[in-house]
Amino acid sequence: MGGKYQLLTEEEAAQFVERGFVRVEGCFGRDVAGWATEEMWSRLGYDADDPSTWVDKRIHMPTLKRFEVKSFAPEAWHAVCDLVGGEERIREPYMWGDGFIVNLGVRADEPWAPPTAASPGWHADGDFFLHFLDSPEQGLLTLVLWTDVVHQGGATFVACDSVGPVARYLADHPEGVRPNGFDVPSLVPECHDFIEATGSAGDVFLLHPFVLHATAQNTLRRPRVITNPPVSLKEPMRFDRAEWEDHSLVEQATLHHLGMERCPFTPSAPRERIVPERLRRQAQYATPSGMAPGGPA
């Protein structure tokens, strides 16, 4: 205690600036992960013990239940505050939910291949807004692990050094980039630092919002359950604060990878919310009572 940050060590903060992620371990208990995912199989209509019933191998379910992170996972909350520059910059309530992303054996019939630029599915998150360098809608990318997530078991592929290429792309497009508008085929080959986001149930990866990542193969066919809730900021990010230290770690990381000390940025088009196609697809996994799916993630 008494350090610069509420939860993160200086080493973790430095790792975030350099490689775009930290993993906060044990943000909630295995028992909590158990009850939170209790209704998942009945919502899917699959038998947990009978893989022959697992028709779809990857399902992104709608969010029905929500938990306020501040009380549900205080350590994660403190780490988020550390990364985005303090509680006062976060639009509250900051919630996680049960919009599970389930990997039951994606491309399990193909030989295992580690993450490379050639892996399929690289993307930036945020299908619900027009992207600018300073966008407030997705202050962080988060991967909440609701089951153990192991090597070759569907652990999300992460391109740790994608912040620079994506930041430069956004800086070059002040008119905004649509959710599927990133030129991923030219951005990913610039990346060389690939990892699998493995961990235990209750661990949480907090990543820079520009980090490219991809659904991984699950050759083990062991059910893998995560969520990817965004953190919403009250105000757009700033890259021209009076003092370097006033920049959040996310802003510092962006400037670091742009190779700039300051980068004033003004969008040249209005900010825009976009209704994701995802919400329409998800309706089939709502409860039998027919509850409508909620908002982002």
By CB under 6 A, tell whether 218 contacts ligand AKG: no
By CB under 6 A, tell whether 219 contacts ligand AKG: no
Q: How many CA atoms lie within 13 A of 109 on its CB side?
A: 1
By CB under 6 A, tell whether 149 contacts ligand AKG: no
| Nearest one of 241, 234, 289 to 264, comparing CA atoms | 241
The two structure tokens encoding residue 28: 């909630």
**Cα 276 to Cα 126: distance, rounded to the nearest angstrom:** 9
To ligand AKG, the closest distance from the beta carbon of 144 in angstroms equals: 11
Site string for Fe ion, 107-146 (x = CB under 5 A): ------------------x---------------------
Instruction: Write down the residue that tokens 């949480």 correspond to.
Output: 204
CB closer to ligand AKG out of 228 and 282: 228
For 31, counting Cβ atoms within 10 Å of its Cβ (0-12 exposed, 13-18 middle, 19+ buried), the class is: exposed
To ligand AKG, the closest distance from the beta carbon of 197 in angstroms equals: 8
**Binding test (CB under 6 A) with ligand AKG, winner from 215, 217, 227, 254:** 215
Contact between 260 and 40 (Cβ < 8 Å): no
Looking at residue 39, its amino acid is: E
Number of residues that bind ligand AKG (CB under 6 A): 10
To ligand AKG, the closest distance from the beta carbon of 163 in angstroms equals: 16
Looking at residue 13, its amino acid is: A
**Cα 153 to Cα 240: distance, rounded to the nearest angstrom:** 42
By CB under 6 A, tell whether 271 contacts ligand AKG: no
By CB under 6 A, tell whether 156 contacts ligand AKG: yes
Residue nearest to Fe ion according to CB distances in the complex: 125
To ligand AKG, the closest distance from the beta carbon of 60 in angstroms equals: 5
CB closer to ligand AKG out of 142 and 252: 142
Contact between 47 and 53 (Cβ < 8 Å): yes
CB closer to Fe ion out of 7 and 149: 149
271 binds, among Fe ion, ligand AKG, none (CB under 5 to 8 A by kind): none
Which residues in the chain belong to E strands, given as ranges?
21-24, 58-60, 66-68, 95-97, 101-103, 141-145, 157-159, 194-196, 204-207, 212-214, 224-227
Binding site for ligand AKG (CB under 6 A): 60, 101, 103, 125, 156, 213, 215-216, 226, 228
Binding site for Fe ion (CB under 5 A): 125
